[in-house]
Amino acid sequence: METGRKQRQHHHFVLVHGAFHGAWCWYKVATALSSAGHRVTALDMAACGARPGRAEEVPSFEEYSQPLLDAVAALPPEEKAVLVGHSFGGQCLALAMERYPDRVSVAVFVSAAMPAAGKPMNLVFQQVLHEQRPADFYMDCKIETSGDPEHPVETLRLGPRFLEQRMYQSVSRL
């Protein structure tokens, strides 16, 4: 029996955090989407959030993105996900879309850069890290290099002043 109303369509949202974060940052968004009847998967990328490991143990962007690639690959054949990536998470989305175009309904880039076609995936990160900011922007952060000298891994360690003044509100100012 037709009631005249369209049946509401529910989606599977896969949420990908930005650099230096974890699935925890999607708590309110995931709760709102779930409350609206959608299926939600908030992922921790490699060595982030509750996922074990250290950043310097993740030598490639593909390995960093592996949790997303695994999640998209594991979708049932008839299901297409809505991918949502914040900041550096947009890079992960681009890789997943390229690898599994038939598994992605749409991708939402939230304050996220999309890599240029034919350019290396780490180009955006390198530009932000080395070119797009004044020298004092990173304040008390440290860039560390580790790994094989032929394939070094650069890690940005955020300092307390940077976290307080650039990323989060200072509690003392509230």
Contact yes or no for 121/94 (Cβ under 8 A):
yes
CATH H-level, domain 12-130: superfamily: Alpha/Beta hydrolase fold, catalytic domain (3.40.50.1820)
The pLDDT profile of the chain, 174 residues, written as one tens digit per residue, is 455 556 678 999 999 999 889 999 999 999 999 999 999 999 999 999 899 888 778 878 899 999 999 999 999 999 999 999 999 899 999 999 999 999 999 999 999 877 777 877 677 767 766 666 677 888 898 888 887 888 777 778 889 998 888 887 665 554
The CA distance from 67 to 56, in Å, is: 17
pLDDT of amino acid 61: 86
Contact yes or no for 18/88 (Cβ under 8 A):
yes
Task: List, in order, residues 6 or more apart from 67 with CB less than 8 Å away.
Answer: 43, 44, 45, 46, 51
> Can you read off the two tokens belonging to residue 56?
């310097």
Strands of the 104-110 sheet, one edge to the other: 39-43, 12-16, 81-86, 104-110
Q: 3-state class of 158 per DSSP?
A: coil
Angle between helices 61-73 and 89-99 (to 10 degrees): 60
The CA distance from 57 to 47, in Å, is: 8
Could you give the residue range(s) of every CATH 3.40.50.1820 domain in the chain? 12-130
The CA distance from 11 to 22, in Å, is: 22
Residue type, position 90, single letter: G
pLDDT of amino acid 7: 67
Contact yes or no for 114/135 (Cβ under 8 A):
no
Three-state secondary structure string covering 78-126 = CCCEEEEEECCHHHHHHHHHHHCHHHEEEEEEECCCCCCCCCCCCHHHH
The CA distance from 94 to 61, in Å, is: 12
The CA distance from 72 to 53, in Å, is: 22
